[in-house]
């Protein structure tokens, strides 16, 4: 249970970072946090043991969560672009 809460907290920070990196223009800080939580979980599961860049566990968690959040933010941006093009046709 404690691990899930930590992932959510770090995911919220990662969502803010991913929103700044991707410039997703999500429209709300809350959506950036939700993207970060989902991406943080995804990053933790995908890159949890591969991205051990530093010896600090917290920094590694933020890096992996940010990587996952950037992936989710890019996917969301691509889906929005796909559907916005279809409305214009």
Interval 34-88: pLDDT, tens: 888 888 888 888 877 776 677 787 888 888 888 888 888 889 888 888 887 665 4
Task: Please tell me the total count of domains within the chain.
Answer: 1
Which of the four pLDDT bands, split at 50, 70 and 90, describes residue 11?
confident
Largest Cα–Cα distance in the chain? 52
Q: What is the pLDDT of residue 85?
A: 63
Q: Is 62 left (phi over 0), alpha (psi -120 to 50) or beta?
A: alpha
Mean pLDDT for 14-25 is: 78
Q: Domain residues for 17? A: 2-88
**CA-CA distance, 5 to 23, in Å (whole number)?**
26
Six-digit token string for 81: 């672009």
Mean pLDDT for 16-45 is: 79
The DSSP symbol for 1 reads: -
Q: What share of the chain is helix, strand, coil (3-state, %, to 5)?
A: 80, 0, 20
- Which pTM was predicted? 0.77
Q: What is the pLDDT of residue 25?
A: 62
């Amino acid at each position: 249970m404690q691990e899930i809460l930590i992932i959510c907290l770090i995911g919220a920070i990662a969502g803010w970072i991913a929103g700044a990196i991707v410039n997703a223009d999500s429209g709300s800080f809350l959506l950036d946090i939700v993207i970060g939580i989902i991406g943080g979980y995804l990053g933790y599961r995908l890159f949890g043991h591969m991205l051990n860049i530093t010896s600090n566990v917290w920094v590694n968690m933020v890096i992996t969560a940010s990587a996952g959040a950037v992936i989710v933010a890019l996917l969301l941006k691509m889906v929005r672009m796909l559907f916005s093009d279809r409305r214009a046709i």
